[in-house]
Structure formats: structure tokens, C-alpha cells
């Protein structure tokens, strides 16, 4: 049996990407500006994390306009939800193992 850390995804595990997926999973769509503010990332850093997630098929970027203002919205894909669930399951297993060990 693989240790739970072996099931952590290098793409998802990075804390900002995990944050993006978690926030996107909570909302139907999340705006770039909101992620920029909440995650306290520069626009360039956020763009890079979004590119990694998009290349992996975990999110889709929807570009459009609100009047004349450009808007970018992030939507988690089914694959993204599955990857987030798998990551959280691995964390839950680590927490369970640690709890079992500390209560001996």
C-alpha cells in the first residue's frame, strides 16, 4: 500500500494552486480579480499558476467583458474536482494516521 504522501499531486499540492482549485470548487465561477486579492498573489504569479492548472486540464479560463472591461473567470473541470478530492483524501489519511499515532 502506498503512503498517503505518494498520492499527493505535484500540480495540485502547491498551496496557491490548491487554493485556486478549492475556491473554484466552492463557486460556479470565480473571477481572476477575486483570486488575485484573496490569495495575495501578483497578477503574473496568479497567471502562471492558472496556466499550470489549465494545461493539466483542471480548470478552464473564460475570457469575456463586463461592459468594456475585460474579465477572466476560472471554472473548475470535472477532472479538477477529482484531483482536488484525491488531494484532500490523501490529506485526510495523513491526518488520520497522525491522530492514530499520537493517541497511542
* Residue 56 predicted with pLDDT over 90: yes
> What's the CATH number of domain 8-102, 1.20.120.80, 1.10.10.10, 3.30.70.270, 3.60.15.10?
1.10.10.10
Q: Residues 84-99: pLDDT tens digits? A: 999 999 889 888 888 7
For the chain, the domains span 8-102
Q: Provide the pLDDT for residue 40.
A: 95
The C-alpha cell that represents 37 in the structure block? 486579492
User: How much is the pTM?
Assistant: 0.86
DSSP state string for the chain: ---GGGG--HHHHSHHHHHHHHHHHHSS-EEHHHHHHHTT--HHHHHHHHHHHHHTTSEEEEEEEETTEEEEEEEE-HHHHHHHHHHHHHHHHHHHHHHHHHT-
Amino acid at each position: 500500500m502506498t503512503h498517503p504522501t505518494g498520492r499527493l499531486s505535484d500540480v495540485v499540492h502547491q498551496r496557491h494552486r490548491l487554493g485556486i482549485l478549492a475556491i473554484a470548487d466552492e463557486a460556479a465561477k470565480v473571477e481572476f480579480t477575486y483570486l488575485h486579492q484573496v490569495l495575495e498573489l501578483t497578477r503574473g504569479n496568479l497567471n502562471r499558476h492558472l496556466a499550470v492548472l489549465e494545461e493539466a486540464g483542471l480548470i478552464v479560463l473564460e475570457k469575456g467583458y463586463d461592459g468594456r472591461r475585460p474579465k477572466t473567470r476560472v471554472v473548475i473541470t470535472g477532472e479538477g474536482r477529482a484531483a482536488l478530492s484525491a488531494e484532500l483524501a490523501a490529506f485526510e489519511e495523513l491526518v488520520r494516521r497522525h491522530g492514530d499515532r499520537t493517541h497511542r
